[in-house]
A and B are shown apart, each in its own frame.
Chain A
Amino acid sequence: MITAAVHEREHYLNASYGIKSWLLTKDHKRIALLYLATITLFFFLGGSFATLIRIELLTPTGGLVSSETYNKLFTMHGVAMIFFFLIPSIPATLGNFFLPIMIGARDLAFPKLNLLSWYLLVIGGLFSLFAMLAGGVDTGWTFYTPYSTTYSNSYVIATALGIFIAGFSSILTGLNFIVTVHRMRAPGMTWFRLPLFVWANYATSLIQVLGTPVIAVTILLLFCERVFHIGIFDPALGGDPVLFQHLFWFYSHPAVYIMVLPAMGVISELISVYSRKPVFGYKFIAFSSVAIAVLGFLVWGHHLFVSGQSLYAGLVFSFLSYFVAIPSSIKVFNWTATLYKGSISYATPMLYAFGFIGLFTIGGLTGLFVAALGIDVHVTDTYFVVAHFHYIMVGGTIMAYLGGMHYYWPKMTGRMYPEAWAKLSALVIFLGFNLTFFPQFLLGYLGMPRRYHVYPDEFQVLHVLSTAGASVLAVGYLMPMIYFVWSLRFGQMAPANPWGATGLEWKTASPPPVHNFDEAPIVTHEAYDYSTVIPEVIEVG
């Protein structure tokens, strides 16, 4: 007698097969996975450039690569990581997957536009990848004129075109999210019952929609100047390169909030579930996300303090830059208050959340240092700034991204990851990160310029420490790659709500059905109402 075959429940992964069912999908969950694959590839690409940079910096006189090549390495590291990894990261993967489910909808407002967004990222990525493989670009990810328009002999146009196209991916995703949150919430899902992750992605979408078009037109003008010699920024014609910088940073400063706001949204979810407490000061956190989005547009001139911007403009921008720290601090204080008298669990996602709070605080505080005009004159264009933004982008965003990936892995795949290995890699990443980037604060303060590969001998010790840290960090990043894949086949089957979390996403099966819910949900509870949840059997930490 043959044992009866187990009839597998239908869900979004097995409902249809074949490459067309993925490449022509309208399902936001599948699109999220398409994005996941794409950005992971770009993470490795950016990481490879970082590896080469750190190896080069082991010795004071370089030697591995020429100066011209080194210029290309840091440029391409920045381009790959910022435009093709960090900017899409959380919104396009976790946001795409969970935003509709969290609000009780069947999909985003414009599913086909969502798929188009992914294709635009891929096409843009291919242009930039072509540029990198064909010979590279050496202008710095900031493309300052007149070097980028007139003097550089590298693949500026191809790279810029790639970023231009990817920008539209970002704009359309933001547009999609905004319409979805406004128009597709389930009955009873009022604004103040939304998970804070939704608020964070909503605020991020505002930035994407308002800011990205400006860098798009700036790249267009750069393109015109380089190809048609229509000199908008050419000093020989009376043009002003600082105007380029204004337009570039009008987007690129808010862009850093595109990169960090969704991460903060993830942290709000993690802190709450692993303290088994509602987030302290829900409305403050919700409004602070919008405040960061708005205030983030008023500070871009702090990137131009020593560029030739007028002193009075510098004063204005410095003054405004202090304000944008306030909503971020409110979040950190509120997360901490959430922990107080909470029932703390040390599951892997919570370890990442703790890491985020500590490292983001350091990154954010050092942001205040550089916002001060006097200090910035000393540390601008040094490794101090490099350390500052890596503390936020890597110590902050990437940790939150990994925390979110671990937290949502059971829901997305129906499998648990191996907890012991996950905890170990979180620790390795934390240690590796600090060893890599803390020495860079010291290097910068002592005068090591950024974008240089030849340096005075006395800086070598700190550089060696940093490179050692980078090796550890690389190992830490590889570990989840391995065990996540392993878990797809061998991981423990995940129940609908392994963490005992609140939120509509935990009320549907793991993995969710194609239309997210078997029955359309009606929301009658406030957010983070733990009285309604009974955790299932999974015990962690």
Chain B
Amino acid sequence: MADLTSHEAQASSHEAHAAVHEAHAETLDLREQFNTAEQQKDASTLGMWLFLITEIMFFGGMFACYTVYRRTFPEVFAVASSSLNAVLGAINTGVLLLSSFTMVMAVRAGQLGQRNMIILLLILTLFFGGVFLGVKAIEWKEKFDEHHIPGQAAFHLEGLPPDQQGHAQLFFSLYFAMTGLHALHMVIGVGILSFLIWQAKKGTYSATYFTPVDVAGLYWHFVDVIWIFLFPLLYLIDRHLGK
């Protein structure tokens, strides 16, 4: 009936009992609510993964809007999409993938306890993230100059009749909403990376405790995955049709 033999129960009780008292002396890798450092690491990682699926649903709402409207206005979406610079978008995608590479390398450095490598790789990740955001800013400025900002009276997409301008605005609304939300997540990621670099410089991380780098890495990679889908869905709609 009982899950543990009485001997095991006594042994666990002693360990857990000791853990109750040990836990009062709180350290970074073993906070007082946890019994072992491994339990804490597992909990933190699970927590981050759960957060990421809330992010899947968060972005998912916008993907749902995109799916509905692309189905309804396929030709308009194709024309609107072709007004985006696919090469620039592809290069930016590459930049973000590179940043994911440096991020996972930073986590690896954490696993190996290589303090200087952690700092270097996090800085590189931050750099590539910054490049991505810079290119994004340039792209958005371009849209502004071309009068492709939705909600503005001056909105006009070349190659479409007046009665389809509204539909084109739908595309650009989604473009700005989705890339904007993505960029916001990048900015938050940049903030997190800065914090990590500061902490790494203080020597906070070691081979036994690098969980913040690990879970920040998960977040960063997730933001990358969102872009992996945004790129083809926004930039590469029916490009074979030409402009």
A and B found bound together = yes
Interface residues of A (CB under 8 A from B): 105-111, 171, 175-176, 178-179, 182-184, 186-188, 190, 193, 209-214, 216-218, 220-221, 224, 228-232, 234, 236-240, 243, 246-247, 250, 515, 517, 519-520, 522-526
Cross-chain contact A187 with B151 (CB below 8 angstroms)? no
Chain B positions within 8 Å of A224 at CB level: 173, 177
Cross-chain contact A247 with B3 (CB below 8 angstroms)? no
Bound state CA distance, A228 and B173, in angstroms? Answer: 10
Cross-chain contact B173 with A106 (CB below 8 angstroms)? no
Query: Of residues A108, A109, A188, A211, which shows the largest number of chain B Cβ atoms within 10 Å of its Cβ?
Result: A109
Q: Which B residue sits closest to A208, measured CB to CB?
A: B54
Q: Which B residue sits closest to A246, measured CB to CB?
A: B64
Q: Which A residue sits closest to B32, measured CB to CB?
A: A106
12 contacts between A and B (CB under 8 A): A109-B47, A175-B51, A187-B4, A229-B151, A230-B173, A237-B173, A238-B72, A238-B73, A238-B166, A240-B68, A243-B68, A520-B17
Binds A, one of B38-46, B94-102, B104-112, B197-205: B38-46
Chain B positions within 8 Å of A236 at CB level: 166
In the complex, given contacts A240-B72, A520-B16, what are 19 additional A-B residue pairs having Cβ atoms less than 8 angstroms apart?
Answer: A107-B32, A175-B47, A179-B50, A186-B16, A188-B4, A214-B60, A221-B65, A221-B177, A229-B151, A230-B177, A231-B166, A231-B173, A238-B73, A238-B167, A238-B170, A247-B65, A250-B61, A519-B20, A524-B9
Bound state CA distance, A50 and B3, in angstroms? Answer: 51
Chain A positions within 8 Å of B69 at CB level: 238-239
Chain B positions within 8 Å of A239 at CB level: 69, 170
Chain B positions within 8 Å of A220 at CB level: 177, 181
Knowing A184-B33, A187-B9, A519-B17 are in contact, say whether A209-B53 is a contact too (CB < 8 A): yes
Bound state CA distance, A254 and B215, in angstroms? Answer: 29
Q: For the complex, would chain B's binding face be called helix, strand, loop or mixed by DSSP majority?
A: helix
Cross-chain contact A184 with B39 (CB below 8 angstroms)? yes
Knowing A210-B57, A230-B150, A230-B176 are in contact, say whether A517-B43 is a contact too (CB < 8 A): no
Cross-chain contact A213 with B17 (CB below 8 angstroms)? no
Cross-chain contact A184 with B170 (CB below 8 angstroms)? no
Chain A positions within 8 Å of B20 at CB level: 106, 515, 517, 519-520
Q: Is B2 an interface residue (CB 8 A)?
A: yes
Q: B46, B55, B174: which contacts A232 (Cβ < 8 A)? A: B174
Q: Which B143-167 residues sit within 8 Å CB-CB of chain A?
A: 150-152, 166-167
A-B contact count (CB 8 A): 154
Q: Which A residue sits closest to B76, measured CB to CB?
A: A238
Cross-chain contact B170 with A212 (CB below 8 angstroms)? no
Q: Is B19 an interface residue (CB 8 A)?
A: yes
Bound state CA distance, A111 and B65, in angstroms? Answer: 36
Q: B4, B42, B51, B166: which contacts A524 (Cβ < 8 A)? A: B4
Bound state CA distance, A523 and B34, in angstroms? Answer: 18
Cross-chain contact B58 with A214 (CB below 8 angstroms)? yes
Knowing A217-B58, A231-B150 are in contact, say whether A179-B33 is a contact too (CB < 8 A): no
Cross-chain contact A184 with B151 (CB below 8 angstroms)? no
Query: Of residues B32, B39, B50, B60, which shows the largest number of chain A Cβ atoms within 10 Å of its Cβ?
Result: B50
Cross-chain contact A520 with B33 (CB below 8 angstroms)? no
Chain B positions within 8 Å of A221 at CB level: 61-62, 65, 177
Cross-chain contact B50 with A247 (CB below 8 angstroms)? no
Q: Which B residue sits closest to A523, measured CB to CB?
A: B3
Cross-chain contact A520 with B42 (CB below 8 angstroms)? no
Shortest distance between the CB of A59 and any CB in chain B (Å): 43
Cross-chain contact B177 with A183 (CB below 8 angstroms)? no
Q: B33, B65, B68, B72: which contacts A105 (Cβ < 8 A)? A: B33
Nearest 3 pairs of A and B residues by beta carbon: A229-B151, A217-B61, A237-B166
Chain A positions within 8 Å of B46 at CB level: 178-179, 182-183
Shortest distance between the CB of A235 and any CB in chain B (Å): 9
Cross-chain contact A111 with B167 (CB below 8 angstroms)? no
Cross-chain contact B50 with A209 (CB below 8 angstroms)? yes
Shortest distance between the CB of B143 and any CB in chain A (Å): 13
Query: Of residues A210, A239, A243, A526, which shows the largest number of chain B Cβ atoms within 10 Å of its Cβ?
Result: A239
Cross-chain contact B43 with A179 (CB below 8 angstroms)? yes
Knowing A212-B54, A522-B9, A524-B9 are in contact, say whether A247-B151 is a contact too (CB < 8 A): no
Chain A positions within 8 Å of B47 at CB level: 109-110, 175-176, 179
Bound state CA distance, A17 and B3, in angstroms? Answer: 41
Chain B positions within 8 Å of A209 at CB level: 50, 53-54
Chain B positions within 8 Å of A187 at CB level: 3-4, 9, 12-13, 16
Chain A positions within 8 Å of B25 at CB level: none
Cross-chain contact B173 with A232 (CB below 8 angstroms)? yes
Cross-chain contact B2 with A524 (CB below 8 angstroms)? yes
